[in-house]
Structure 1
Amino acid sequence: MRTRLIASMAVLLASSTAAYADASDGVVKIGILNDQSGVYANFGGKYSYEAAKMAVEDYGGKVLGASVEVITADHQNKPDIASNIARQWYDTEQVDAIMELTTSSVALAVQAISKEKKKIDIVTGAATTELTGAQCSPYGFHWAYDTYSLAVGTGGALVKEGGDTWFFLTADYAFGYSLEENTANFVKANGGTVSGAVRHPLATTDYSSFLLQAQSSGAKVIGLANAGLDTSNSIKQAAEFGIVAGGQRLAALLFTLAEVHGLGLEAAQGLTLTEGFYWNRTPEAAEFGKRFFDRTGAMPNMVHAGTYSAVLQYLKAIEKAGTDETEAVAKALHEMPVNDIFAENGKVGANGRMIHDMYLMEVKKPGESDVAWDYYKVLATIPGDEAFIDPAKSGCPLVSQ
């Protein structure tokens, strides 16, 4: 009798241990870390948090029998603050994965910590190709877009249209440098020239001296290698100097639906830009956009939709792996195709880059917009294998050359 009781207890203990091994402590916790009060607050911000919660709700709120929780914090665009939050989340709050990570310097810092802690990070808000290049991680993934894909779209298109001389107005940190470099390479590869560049601090309020340098360069195209309110304010102040009226063209190298809405069609009309998602492109995207609008009062851009996709795919990977253990989930993320409202037949390269189609857009004139938030004409689809760097050429040491 005693032997049977011990045996039964051993079976119960083993089954209980197995259940917790499937989903760690019985909860899968995802952290959305981004800018919620600065220049990128509408670019991602609270809207990305809502997108993440939508993905969890659409998945059913549980994975492997464990509840799924989403938490969020504002990193204020500061790598030290982001690093402290990430360490606290991993060390004391049992966070399993961190996502979004707007601002490239922040994303690089948190990806390094995630690599150290052997935790998954999926970047949707930052752009630098270093994330899947020299600083790639076996547990790091880059989802929505990057500086290379933006350069292929907007940079390549404008040179072909005759914009063959460029001057750059660049945000003075990792993202801006990467976007300028990638775009300049495409300009030169297509027969164009770059006459110079000037760099401005993140979240500056006065662009006059920078814009005057760009204007005096005589370049046909002024490439705005910045984002969020920095780009919007650059465009507004450029109008005050009569830059576009004087015959030069502005290229918004990272500009999304959120910024177009903030600027308004009157000011934004005619801008050429590249996004990885547009809510009015397919019926499925439109349905998602309506649901997103109902809870936020805004239509989603590629960062919001990309965050939804990243969270959904992470939960699918846990299901496929049969556990939330990092190595197994990372392996599943590399193996699984991505098919959802954001990506059609997307795939994850060996360097962690999710490869999917991108779209070259032109902002409509006010009279061309039929419904609210209908701001884009899709000029071209850029196939994923053209839009993103071949993983074998990315410089990622994890990729076999």
Structure 2
Amino acid sequence: MHPTVDSAGQNQGQGESKVTTRRSLLAGAAAAVPLIGRSRAQGAPVMRIGVLNDQSGAYRTNGGPGSVANTRLAVQELGAARGLNVEVLVADHQGKPDVGLNAARQWFDRDDVDVVMDFQNSAIALAVAGLAREKDKVAIACNVGTSDLTGARCSPNTLHWAYDTQMLARVIGGAHVHAGNDTWFFITADYAFGHALEKDTANFVKAAGGKVLGAIRMPFPGTDFASPLLQAQQSRAKVIGFANAGTDTVNCIKQAAEFGITRRGPKLAGMLLQINDIHALGLEAAQGLTLAESFYWDLNDRTRAYAKRIGPAMGGAMPNMSQAACYAAALHYLKAAADMGAAEAKRSGAAAVARMKAMPAEDDVFGRSTLRADGRVLHTAYLFEAKAPQESQGTWDYYKVVATVPPEQAFRPLNEGGCTLG
């Protein structure tokens, strides 16, 4: 598996948008393509950003080419304007930690890559973060659940955007328990992300006075969730929590509807649902589901303007919080590199991250964000409810805001994570 330099502006998504018209998908998201994404700054050192994620598997639409498109947009909008010479590289880790780590090592050792970002896999993110520290490069998690990245395994070379399992547990778990839905049963993806999401949510439920009645761990990816769904129903839990993501969550929700489970009582909590998952489900099946994201394209004038700019590169699809975080993270990294000088940013990843933490982060995705000492990027989180079909004005008009959660309530406090950088 060879990482490649991306230049084609691969499209992602389906259907029409209120913001943009449909554009056809460009094939071959990770195929070898000519060099681009380069700001024409003569004489400047070449800065390289590697997007490492799932380009072909179950999580493709959660990140995949969409994350690449968002990263490239940041380069296009800021690179040349700040006199930077930037390339974007792409690799598909196929959901395999060894493949992901080898790709990152090749980028650092052979291709002079300065930043590896996105990940879409907690185990890969933790491994690459360790490698980035060893090599004094930068690792930026945009699509990763594990809160260990800013906890016990924090690093001066790592930043974590968009969400983590702590945020999801606090926003979604807290809303359900406070509404009286205080008994839970988990269906969990059997790998690091699923384990962490179940653990963090269960701890939050128990701390709020609730109970966990059971949990079943399922191989990832999975297709048949009949047995765990029926066991969850038989437990008489008020909430069935899906500690999984991507097609696993979509399949769980679809099969729960087929079995009539939601008509007979328990609430369904998609602990990591994003707008592309709602699109795949359709509002008929998704209506009433609650979910947490830190970005929605239709929140305000700035998010709508951003969505209009990125929409064509995504085939008319709207970005989720993780894909949008790739834009915000790349933009802020490039601002810091321009501020300190490209050569100095390339010399030390830890110095680049320190400069990013010292600078105010401002963008059309999250507005104003704070980069905390432990690497956690703090921004407002939202509890959304999926609209009923008759409430939607068109494709991608999917969410109602139920609650706005300020950063200090949405994310774990600095002194509770175990990070030695605080």
TM-score, length of structure 1 as denominator length: 0.91
Give, as a single letter, the amino acid of the residue that structure 1 aligns with 2:338.
E
Unpaired runs of at least 5, structure 2: 1-41
8 Å contact 1:30–1:96 — kept in the other structure?
A: yes
**Shift of residue 60, structure 1, vs aligned partner:** 3.7
Deviations for 1:233-271, whole angstroms, at most 9, x for unmatched residues? 111111122210111111001000011001111011100
Q: Do structure 1's residue 86 and structure 2's residue 86 form an aligned pair?
A: no
Equivalent position of 2:285 in the other structure: 267
Per the alignment, in what secondary structure is the counterpart of residue 339 of structure 1?
strand
Residue 192 of structure 1: how far off its partner (Å): 1.3
Give how far 1:62 is off: 6.1
Q: Aligned-pair distance for 1:338?
A: 1.5
1: distance between equivalents of 2:190 and 2:267? 22
What is the rounded CA distance, in whole Å, between the counterparts of 1:79 and 1:374 in structure 2?
36
The structural deviation recorded for 1:215 is 1.3
- Find the counterpart in structure 2 of residue 137 from structure 1: 155
Q: Give the match for residue 109 of structure 1.
A: 127
Cα separation, 1, equivalents of 2:416 and 2:338: 32
65-74 vs 143-152, which deviates more? 65-74
In structure 1, the partner of 2:400 is 377
Higher RCO, Cα 8 Å, sep 6+? 2
**In structure 1, what is the equivalent of residue 60 of structure 2?**
41
Partner residue in 1 for 2:169: 151
CA distance in structure 2 between the aligned counterparts of 1:380 and 1:77, rounded to whole angstroms = 33
Q: Does the residue aligned with 2:363 lie in a helix, a strand or coil?
A: coil
Aligned to 2:418: 395
8 A contact 2:306–2:365 mirrored in 1: no
Q: Partner residue of 1:7? A: none
Aligned to 2:267: 249
The code of the aligned residue for 1:126 comes to V
Structure 1 position 226 matched with structure 2 position 249: no
- Of residues 206-215 and 224-233 in structure 1, the stretch that sits farther from structure 2 once superposed is 206-215
**Contact 2:302-2:365 within 8 A present in 1 as well:** no
Question: Does the alignment pair 1:99 with 2:117?
Answer: yes
5 Å-filtered alignment, 1:2-401, equals: 26-61=45-80, 63=82, 65-297=83-315, 298-322=317-341, 323-324=344-345, 325=347, 326-399=349-422
171-180 or 340-349: bigger deviation: 340-349
Superposed CA deviations along residues 319-368 of structure 1, whole A, max 9, x for unmatched, are 22223132321111111221112223211111100011100000000000
Task: Please give the per-residue CA displacement for 1:45-90, whole angstroms capped at 9, x wherever unaligned.
Answer: 0000000000111114364x34111111110111100010000000
> What corresponds to 1:12 in structure 2?
none
Decide which structure has the larger Cα Rg and report it.
1
Aligned 8 A contact 2:185 2:237 in 1: yes
Contact preservation (8 Å) 2:70, 2:326: yes
- The CA distance in 2 between the partners of 1:60 and 1:176, in whole Å, is 37
Q: Which ranges in structure 1 are unaligned for 5 or more consecutive residues?
A: 1-22
Residue identity in the other structure for 1:132 = T
SS in 1 for 2:402: strand
CA distance in structure 1 between the aligned counterparts of 2:354 and 2:420, rounded to whole angstroms: 17
3-state SS of paired residue (2:221): coil
SS of structure 2 residue aligned to 1:145:
coil
TM-score of the pair, normalised by structure 2: 0.87
The Cα RMSD (Å) is 1.4
